[in-house]
């Protein structure tokens, strides 16, 4: 019923207060009767509602993890193993003179993600050949799609990410900040998009220009030491769900109910 960190009592006073506020236009005994019965109703209904909401929040977060980190791409549920950085990111800009004003926003966005992942970030001079994470300012885009920004990752046989590359389009003046935070998420191991989730990776929430609370949970989960690079999707899906349950303060019972049957990304249609 109740769960750690999500006090059982919290739903009741809140519901009770709403009832009292709504009841102020009523008088005397009528008000007390209504408030009394509604409070009783709240008492009967609230615990179940809280459980259902708690399970739904965890199920949504677990799905967002599977869709962003454990599948090949948006249109493919092909399961992919955990891919992540294990060593410091060594960051270099290929052509910072092409957009000097965008260097710092780009760097800060990458740094924000690296901090959530507990991966150190080392700033290198332009053109340093020891860089493993390179940002290009590119007005032309790739594949003839000039307005686009791109982020990619390369990994080795052990599924450790060894290189990240961003192509950020400086002509995206209205939403460059979104490019700057969305694309490095791909380079950190979230290679696909959880469109239904309130995430900077969703195309549905396309106005999202900074990490959401869910994004921070997703990053901390992927970079939790329990999730080793190369962990197959079905196992990773359950482990990630358990880690997310901790971040969401979900009770053990609710986590059992949501996590134990997870098998990884589901085919949409
Ligand atoms: Zn993307």
Looking up tokens 């926003």, which residue turns up?
105
For the chain, give every domain's residue range. Answer: 85-186
Q: What is the pLDDT of residues 111-167, one digit of tens each?
A: 999 999 999 999 999 989 999 999 999 887 666 666 789 999 999 999 999 999 999
At the second CATH level, the architecture of 85-186 is: 3-Layer(aba) Sandwich (3.40)
Task: Tell me the pTM.
Answer: 0.80
CA 190 – ligand 1 centroid, Å: 9
CA 251 – ligand 1 centroid, Å: 33
CA 51 – ligand 1 centroid, Å: 33
Interhelix angle 176-187/100-117, nearest 10 degrees? 40
Pick from 37-46, 79-88, 140-149, 256-265: least confident:
37-46
CA 49 – ligand 1 centroid, Å: 35
What DSSP string runs through 8-56? GGGHHHHHHHHHHHHHTTS-HHHHHHHHHHHHHHHHHHHHHHHHHHHHH
CA 183 – ligand 1 centroid, Å: 6
Instruction: Reply yes or no on whether the pLDDT at 37 is more than 90.
Output: no
The per-type count for the chain, helices as H runs and strands as E runs, is 7, 7
Residue 49 is predicted with a pLDDT of: 55
CA 182 – ligand 1 centroid, Å: 6
């Amino acid at each position: 019923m109740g769960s750690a960190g999500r006090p059982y009592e919290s739903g009741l006073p809140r519901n009770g207060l709403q009832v009292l506020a709504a009841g102020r236009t009523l008088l005397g005994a009528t008000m007390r009767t209504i408030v009394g019965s509604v409070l009783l109703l709240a008492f009967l209904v609230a615990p179940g509602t809280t459980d259902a909401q708690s399970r739904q929040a965890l199920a949504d977060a677990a799905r967002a993890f599977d869709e962003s980190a454990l599948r090949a791409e948006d249109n493919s549920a092909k399961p992919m193993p955990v891919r992540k950085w294990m060593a410091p990111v060594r960051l270099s800009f290929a052509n910072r003179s092409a957009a000097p004003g965008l260097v710092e926003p780009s760097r800060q966005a990458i740094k924000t993600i690296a901090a959530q992942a507990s991966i150190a970030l080392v700033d290198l001079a332009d053109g340093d050949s020891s860089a493993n994470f390179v940002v290009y300012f590119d007005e032309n885009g790739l594949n003839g799609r000039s307005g686009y920004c791109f982020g990619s990752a390369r990994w080795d046989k052990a599924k450790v990410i060894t290189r990240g590359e961003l192509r950020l389009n400086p002509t995206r003046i209205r939403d460059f900040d979104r490019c700057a935070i969305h694309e490095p998420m791909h380079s950190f191991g979230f290679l696909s998009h959880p469109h239904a989730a309130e995430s900077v990776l969703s195309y549905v929430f396309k106005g999202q220009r900074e990490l959401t609370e869910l994004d921070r949970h997703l990053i901390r989960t992927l970079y939790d030491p329990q999730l080793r690079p190369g962990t197959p999707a079905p196992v990773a899906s359950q482990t990630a769900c358990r880690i997310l349950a901790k971040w969401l303060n979900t009770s053990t019972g609710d986590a059992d109910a949501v996590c134990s049957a997870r098998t990884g990304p589901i085919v949409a249609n």
